[in-house]
Amino acid sequence: MRGEILSYDTTAGAGLISGDDGVRYGFSAAGLQSPAVPAPGVRVDFVPEDGEATQILILAGGPSTVGVAGGYASSTDTTVAGFDWQKLFLSFEGRIRRSHFWIGWLILLGVGVVAGWLPIIGGLISLALIWPNLAITVKRLHDMGKTGWLAAIPWGAAIVFMTIGFVMVMGAAIAGGMGPDYYEDNPAALFAMMSPGIGAFVLAGLIPLAFLLWIGLVEGDKGDNRFGPNPKGE
């Protein structure tokens, strides 16, 4: 029988195939008859046995040249060892597992730290990082069966509470009636001026952190959901 690979986890050595008969079959690396690494979208020929795919042969001429027996990856291919980096960072479709989310998040964090040391171009890089950060967040929410629009929560909360904190600090400064020189030479007065907005500034940081831990630690839906197949092949 022939079908198409839906997902494959190189770490677990397991994946999922959609057969041409409309049935989905799990498979393991032991069932592969080719040394090539399978990737989503690749056509295969296999033998179904009790709901599992065995004797899997990767066919040439599939949507992706990765994993094609005897073939070479094209110059535009972005899949490395079964990991599609372009889809991870640029696409808002489908689902990703927790480990892939953290890999992507750490890479973006590292790039962001380096960008912070670069004048001018670093700011442009930081702006460009908004898209991939949203992409991995939305797909992680999809894996949990949640709408990707929830990704707006940490961004919105940070903006709202930062604004509230700034307004409270400015209000305290105006009420104090003192100039900037007074606060520079008087740390206690500076702290008193800042204290009304400290709670808002703390919330501006804690809410995004709590959201990050939520989407990064909570397990995704078992099996398929409305956003696609389980990325673990379960």
Residue 73: predicted pLDDT: 39
pTM: 0.61
Total tally of structural domains belonging to the chain: 3
Q: How far is 48 from 21, CA to CA, in rounded Å? A: 11
Q: Does 157 share its domain with 109?
A: no
Range of the domain at 161: 149-217
Please name the helix (run of DSSP H) or strand (run of DSSP E) that holds residue 80, with its range, or none. strand 79-80
Q: Does 153 share its domain with 141?
A: no
Q: Does 73 share its domain with 12?
A: yes
In a domain, 125, yes or no: yes
Residue 64: predicted pLDDT: 42
Residue 44: predicted pLDDT: 87
Q: Does 111 share its domain with 57?
A: no
Residue 72: predicted pLDDT: 34
Q: Does 125 share its domain with 106?
A: yes
Distances (CA, A) of 197 to 86, 160, 172, 182: 41, 12, 9, 19
Residue 184: predicted pLDDT: 59
Q: Does 6 share its domain with 60?
A: yes
What are the phi and psi torsion angles at 193 (to 5°)?
A: -70, -40
Residue 71: predicted pLDDT: 35
In a domain, 222, yes or no: no
For the chain, list residues with pLDDT below 70: 35-36, 60-83, 172-194, 196, 233-234
Residue 177: predicted pLDDT: 58
Structure confidence by residue, pLDDT tens digits, 180-216:
555 555 566 555 656 767 888 899 999 999 999 999 9
In a domain, 223, yes or no: no
Residue 96: predicted pLDDT: 92
Q: Does 98 share its domain with 114?
A: yes
